């Protein structure tokens, strides 16, 4: 018998963020293969629960990046 391993959008977002640390909405849409509205809905549900957090993107200040709530994004600058 074939097992049906279908994950919800929320589970996909958590799995992908745990692997790639910090991603924008557009990148999450590409990685999940789901619609943008489904990904945004999953993001806001996870934000309400406190499982993920949102920070401004360093490269593009008008965009947000999302990451797992218990991880800190460390950026090192070389002088």
Whether 78 shows a pLDDT value over 80: the answer reads no
pLDDT, one tens digit per residue, over 17-67 is: 999 888 999 999 999 999 999 999 999 999 999 999 999 888 888 889 999
> What range defines the domain where residue 64 resides?
9-68
Residue 75: inside a domain: no
pLDDT at position 42:
93
pLDDT at position 73:
52
Predicted structure pTM score = 0.76
Output the CA–CA distances (angstroms, integers) from residue 70 to 7, 30, 31, 45, 51, in the order listed.
Answer: 22, 24, 22, 17, 8
Number of domains in the chain: 1
Residue 22: inside a domain: yes
Residue 79: inside a domain: no
pLDDT at position 72:
59
Q: Which of 8, 50, 71, 6 is nearest to 23 (CA)?
A: 71
Residue 54: inside a domain: yes
CATH number at residue 33: 1.10.10.10
Instruction: Quote the CA–CA distance of 39 and 13 in Å, as a whole number.
Output: 8
Whether 1 shows a pLDDT value over 60: the answer reads no
b/e per residue, 16-45, with b = 16+ CB within 10 A?
Answer: bbeeeebbeeeebbebbebeeebbeebbee
């Amino acid at each position: 018998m074939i097992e049906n391993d279908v994950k919800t959008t929320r589970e996909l977002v958590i799995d992908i963020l745990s692997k790639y640390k910090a991603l924008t909405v557009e990148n999450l849409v590409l990685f999940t293969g789901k619609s943008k509205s489904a990904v945004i809905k999953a993001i806001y549900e996870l934000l309400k629960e406190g499982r993920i957090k949102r920070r401004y993107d360093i490269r593009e200040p008008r965009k947000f990046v999302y990451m797992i709530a218990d991880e800190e994004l460390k950026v090192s600058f070389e002088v």
